[in-house]
Amino acid sequence: MATKLEYIWLDGYKPTQSLRSKTKIVKEFSGKVEDLDNWSFDGSSTEQAPGGSSDCILKPVFVVPDPQRKSAYLVMCEVLSADGKPHESNGRATIADDDNDFWFGFEQEYFLWDPSTSKPLGFPAAGYPAPQGPYYCSVGAKNAFGREIVEEHLDACLEAGLNVEGINAEVAAGQWEFQIFAKGAKEAGDQIWVARYLLERIGEKYGVAINWHCKPLGQLDWNGSGMHANFSNTTLRTANSKAIFEAICESFRPAVAECIAVYGADNDQRLTGKHETASIHDFSYGVSDRGASIRIPLYAVDHNWSGYLEDRRPNSAADPYKVAAVIIKTVKTAKL
Ligand code: ADP
Ligand code: MN
Ligand code: MN
Ligand code: MN
Ligand code: MN
């Protein structure tokens, strides 16, 4: 049966890459990524190649059923240059150590955004809605805006087989979150990017854009958007030791610049020390501390210092491939 394959990739825009995709029809498809052919696209239209030699290559790396089209799949791809080497925009290919003993739970926050007013859903045409307070995990038309989009996205992710673990309305009006859990840096990144793709596409139906910027309302009293990275490896999961938790937290101290470099654009606007963040200039960790760079969840303390950590610094627009990769690299430098 004719099958629609949506080849998805990340463009070459800096500092934040966007999703691009196009459809390929094939006669037959097994559903297995290894049976998919490479394809090509015009890199001169995506900031990935000069017009004179514009072909870039799409290499399929992750495939799930497309829950919104008949007889269709979503195909996450890496971008290669014409010579077959990873393109410089290909963050997935830079994952040096895709250690599947590392588990990630990303909390992806975002704003549902009205493109005609350039404001979040729930914001009046003039001025602002009531101050933050009632919106987080709210119910009711006074405080929760855009739930039909969020629900449709949740169903689509589940039908695609993505490991969504939950959703919630966030602190700002029109702001929401979904959580996805996966093992290994590549798998975690693939799942987040495909979930972002589905959200963007569902938004189209409603004329609602997704704003991934980490501080879309500027320095007003509105929360920014993060992508908290919860992570663990066997050492953390079976630590039974406060000292091990502290040593792993300490491993991030000399890596602050390296981490911040991939934790998303404009993070200085978000990591101000206010709105449940730590200052971008500081490094701190603490039990249950939502004002720290890294939070030690109470869960870990309650489980005799075993479990996971939450790096609260990655922002909503960060590339999860790069975030996961730097976490694996950094944890492996811990002096245990
Ligand atoms: P928060 O209280 O920060 O809002 P959430 O419930 O939104 O926390 O997200 C916490 C995430 O932590 C979960 O979605 C889950 O995927 C992740 N998580 C739980 N246990 C582990 C673990 N052992 N390793 C990695 N991630 C984990
Ligand atoms: Mn053409
Ligand atoms: Mn959360
Ligand atoms: Mn949140
Ligand atoms: Mn969190």
The DSSP-derived string for 239-274 is: ---HHHHHHHHHHTSTTHHHHHHHS-TTHHHH-BS-
C-alpha span between 215 and 234 (Å, rounded): 35
Residue 188 has pLDDT above 90, yes or no: yes
Give mean pLDDT, residues 114-136: 96
Q: What is the pLDDT of residue 1?
A: 87
C-alpha span between 244 and 300 (Å, rounded): 12
Share of the chain above pLDDT 90, in %: 97
Q: What is the pLDDT of residue 52?
A: 83
Residue 264 has pLDDT above 90, yes or no: yes
Residue 51 has pLDDT above 90, yes or no: no
What DSSP element (H or E) covers 177? strand 175-183
CA of 26 to the centre of ligand 3 (A): 40
C-alpha span between 229 and 246 (Å, rounded): 17
Provide the mean pLDDT of the chain.
97
- C-beta 106 within 6 A of ligand 1: no
pTM (two decimals): 0.98
Residue whose structure tokens are 């997704």: 210
Kindly state the tokens that stand for 198: 């589905």
106 - beta bridge partners?
180, 229
Q: Is the dihedral of CA 287, 291, 294, 299 positive or negative?
A: positive
- C-beta 295 within 6 A of ligand 1: no
Tell me the pairing of strands 285-287 and 164-169. unpaired
Confidence category of residue 53, pLDDT binned at 50, 70, 90 = confident
Q: What is the pLDDT of residue 281?
A: 87
- C-beta 181 within 6 A of ligand 1: yes
Give mean pLDDT, residues 49-67: 94
Kindly state the tokens that stand for 20: 């691009």
